[in-house]
């Protein structure tokens, strides 16, 4: 039996999802015979962890702090083993621009892009380079904040007139904005869990827009308007190739334990990696638990696996 601090909540935009993930992890840990102690992270975090001195921390935090490497850094300092990716991998996944550079360097396809900071616009006239960017990336183009967390900051610009507002909106989430080539196609995700020290790709999940015109971009991502299909309807070879790409991305980013890689499958059959999530959702409706279930890994087993990797690292 291990004492496990289940870190959840916090102040990120994904607080509510994290509380759900955390509660579900706690239940699973208890069923597995561990002592689970919930910690809603805040200013007393270090004090509480020091007092509890858990055998491990289960990071059930999504978004800022939990996925950007901050919590992992604190846990390193405190010498507490924790689940999932380390500090560096979290930093790489959190910053979509950094992610895309690493993917490109590793020869993993990712949509063409350019990225600029707010100061480049304010002090260097980057706005004057927009026509060149628009020409290179073509319309529609995707504008998103570099830091992930909320699909809310993502806008699809249909023409030059949409771009400035989309950039301003992205800057309300992060100081860096990413302009990316739009990939027409299917929205896929591959979750990965390690098995015997090797990343195992779970079945591909497809997000399908519900009862809406495909070109109504914004509506595609509204909560409740998406249906998930697992495994996605794909020829075996295509699914295998997409899973391989996801594993390659996982390795290129240096992820550990588990993660979820989001991709687009272009209409002509070419896949592109969009991003990786270092702490994917673990709620009833989240993609990773569903994909694990599809290959006979139930939630308790999933939690036990993720925890045992953290504990094994502690004794290594």
Ligand X SMILES: Nc1ncnc2c1ncn2[C@@H]1O[C@H](COP(=O)(O)OP(=O)(O)OP(=O)(O)O)[C@@H](O)[C@H]1O
Q: By C-beta, is 228 or 301 nearer to ligand X? A: 228
Number of other residues whose CB lies within 10 A of the CB of residue 212: 14
**Four-residue CA torsion sign, 91, 96, 97, 102:** positive
Which string of DSSP letters, residue by residue, matches 61-104? --STTTSSSHHHHHHHHHT--BSS--HHHHHHHHBHHHHHHHHH
Place of tokens 């994909």: 291
Query: Is 215 a catalytic site residue?
Result: no
Query: Is 150 a catalytic site residue?
Result: yes
Radius of gyration of the chain (CA): 20
Nearest to 251 by CA among 309, 199, 186, 181: 199
**From the CB of 189, what's the least distance to Mg ion, in Å?**
7
Q: Per CB under 5 A, does 262 bind Mg ion?
A: yes
Nearest to 90 by CA among 273, 280, 242: 280
Instruction: Report the site for ligand X in 62-121 (rule: CB under 6 A).
Output: 111
Among 57, 264, 288, 310, binds ligand X (CB under 6 A): 264
Query: Is 275 a catalytic site residue?
Result: yes
**In whole angstroms, what is the distance from residue 177 CA to residue 175 CA?**
7
**From the CB of 259, what's the least distance to ligand X, in Å?**
12
**From the CB of 235, what's the least distance to Mg ion, in Å?**
24
The vertex-111 CA angle with 108 and 116, nearest 5°, equals 110
Q: Note whether 259 and 280 are within 8 A (CB).
A: yes
Place of tokens 């990336």: 137
Site size for ligand X (CB under 6 A):
16
Binding mask 12-51 for ligand X (x = CB under 6 A): ----------------------------------------
**From the CB of 184, what's the least distance to ligand X, in Å?**
7
Query: Is 134 a catalytic site residue?
Result: no
Binding mask 203-222 for ligand X (x = CB under 6 A): ------------------x-
Query: Is 260 a catalytic site residue?
Result: yes
Catalytic residue numbers? 14, 150, 221, 260, 262, 275, 277, 281
Residues that bind ligand X (CB under 6 A): 111, 142, 144, 148, 150-151, 154, 180, 182-183, 187, 221, 262, 264, 274-275
């Amino acid at each position: 039996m291990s004492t496990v601090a289940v870190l959840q909540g916090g102040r990120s935009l994904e607080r509510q999802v994290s509380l759900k993930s955390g509660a579900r992890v706690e239940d699973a840990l208890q069923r597995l015979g561990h002592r689970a102690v919930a910690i809603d992270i805040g200013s007393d975090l270090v004090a509480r962890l020091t007092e509890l001195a858990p055998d491990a921390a289960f990071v059930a935090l999504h978004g800022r702090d939990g996925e950007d490497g901050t919590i992992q850094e604190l846990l390193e300092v405190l010498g507490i083993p924790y689940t999932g990716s380390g500090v560096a991998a979290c930093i790489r996944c959190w910053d979509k621009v950094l992610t895309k550079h690493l993917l490109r360097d590793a020869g993993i396809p990712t949509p063409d892009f350019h990225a600029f900071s707010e100061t480049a616009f304010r002090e260097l006239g980057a706005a004057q380079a927009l026509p060149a960017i628009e020409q290179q990336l073509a319309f529609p183009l995707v504008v998103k904040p570099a830091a992930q967390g909320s699909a809310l900051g993502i806008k699809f610009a249909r023409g030059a007139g949409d771009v400035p507002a989309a950039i301003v909106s992205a800057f309300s989430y992060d100081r860096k904005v990413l302009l990316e080539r739009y990939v027409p196609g299917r929205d896929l995700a591959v979750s990965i869990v390690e098995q015997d020290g090797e990343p195992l790709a779970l079945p591909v999940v497809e997000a399908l827009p519900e009862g809406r015109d495909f070109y109504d971009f914004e509506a595609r991502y509204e909560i409740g308007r998406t249906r998930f299909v697992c495994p996605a309807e794909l020829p075996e070879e295509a699914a295998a190739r997409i899973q391989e790409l996801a594993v390659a991305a996982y390795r290129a980013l240096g992820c550990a334990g588990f993660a979820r890689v989001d991709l687009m499958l272009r209409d002509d059959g070419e896949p592109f990696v969009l991003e990786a999530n270092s702490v994917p959702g673990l709620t009833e409706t989240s993609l990773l638990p569903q994909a694990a279930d599809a290959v006979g890994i139930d939630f308790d087993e999933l939690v036990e696996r993720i925890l045992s990797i953290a504990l094994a690292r502690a004794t290594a």
